[in-house]
Amino acid sequence: MVDSLQLALTNLLTPAILFFLLGFGAGWFKSDLAVPEGAAKTLALVLMLSIGFKGGVEAARAGLSPDFLKAAGVGLTLSFGIPIIAFGVLKVISRLDRTTAAATAAHYGSVSIVTFVAGTEFLRISGVPFGGYMVAVVALMETPAILSALILAGGGAAGRQGLRGELFREVALNGSVVLLIGAFIVGLLSGDAGMSKMEVFVGPVFQGVLVLFLLDMGLVAARRLSAARSLTLPLIAFAICMPLLSSMLSLGLSLALGLSPGNAAVLAILAASASYIAVPAAMRIALPDADPGVYLTLSLAVTFPFNLVFGIPLYTAATAALIG
């Protein structure tokens, strides 16, 4: 537990998180600090391109081993299915509008890269082996949750008329989805040769773009939050309980498919995590009416620190108890 707390504190003091807090503080105290709207959208596009491309390269390295395919299948199922469960829970416990509920649900179906890094480091410290191809599974779990959110956000019309071609077109050709999937395919096809040409862009440049993006999201979240005061105790409880439920769903699927304890633990950590990079970037473009004061604050200010301090050790212990 001491190692876990030390790891949690280390990750909470990374530049990305600290810049989010800087933006949140500036927004809360009504500073005139601002990131131009056009620049903010460009930052979001760069992040999605980098995440998709790196994931494709990792998938190319992993190949199509049976273990990878099983882990990928679990990851894709969770990423697409968890938002549907989360959306249903949110509609029962809150008065969020449909768009904000769908956007929030998407965050809990997608994944947090920093939580993944912290979780795998904890597993290494604990002596739990896992497949290197799990990095590719992370990338595969980014996009399905976004697709679910777009379907859920348009679900009123879909529920009355069935899932028509217009809705399929909106989902399949949404700019954020096209970029994430397209960049993944480019990375998959170009592999290490492509990475050698892109490594500066998806490495050092990515980190700079990330901190600027989170600075902007901190500003947006604080200003929306201070204006709306839309968070309630049920929503905060959701941000803690939903990761616990998601991790249990993941462990059930992993147990049914016979995944190794290490891979099952990674998937439980991923299922419990909530995106604060790829999905906020996508929602800013795809569902601009959704309230980031709700979805980003829940995922980053509640779920993220909970997972780092308590969740990762808990999911690892649950995996050891259920799978061995």
Give the model confidence (pLDDT) of 62-90 as tens digits.
777 888 899 999 999 999 999 999 999 99
Residue 46, phi then psi, degrees to nearest 5: -60, -40
- What is the CATH number that goes with domain 2-25+35-322? 1.20.1530.20
pLDDT of 159 above 50? no
Distances in Å between the alpha carbon of 263 and those of 242, 246, 260? Answer: 21, 16, 5
* Closest-CA residue to 107 (of 302, 318, 310): 302
Listed by start position, the domains of the chain span 2-25+35-322
Share of the chain above pLDDT 70, in %: 88
Confidence of residue 162 (pLDDT cuts 50, 70, 90): very low
Residue 84: the pLDDT is 96
Averaged pLDDT, 274-303 = 84
> Are the C-beta atoms of residues 146 and 286 closer than 8 Å to each other?
yes
* Closest-CA residue to 280 (of 70, 45, 82): 45
pLDDT of 105 above 90? yes
Residue 26: the pLDDT is 93
Residue 85 or residue 23, greater confidence: 85
Q: Please provide the average confidence, as pLDDT, over all residues in the chain.
A: 84
Confidence of residue 270 (pLDDT cuts 50, 70, 90): very high
Confidence of residue 168 (pLDDT cuts 50, 70, 90): low
Residue 284 or residue 103, greater confidence: 103
Residue 51: the pLDDT is 80
Cα(33)–Cα(11) distance, rounded to whole angstroms? Answer: 25
- What is the dihedral sign for C-alpha 81, 86, 89, 90? negative
Residue 111 or residue 163, greater confidence: 111
At 68, the amino acid letter reads: F
Residue 157: the pLDDT is 44
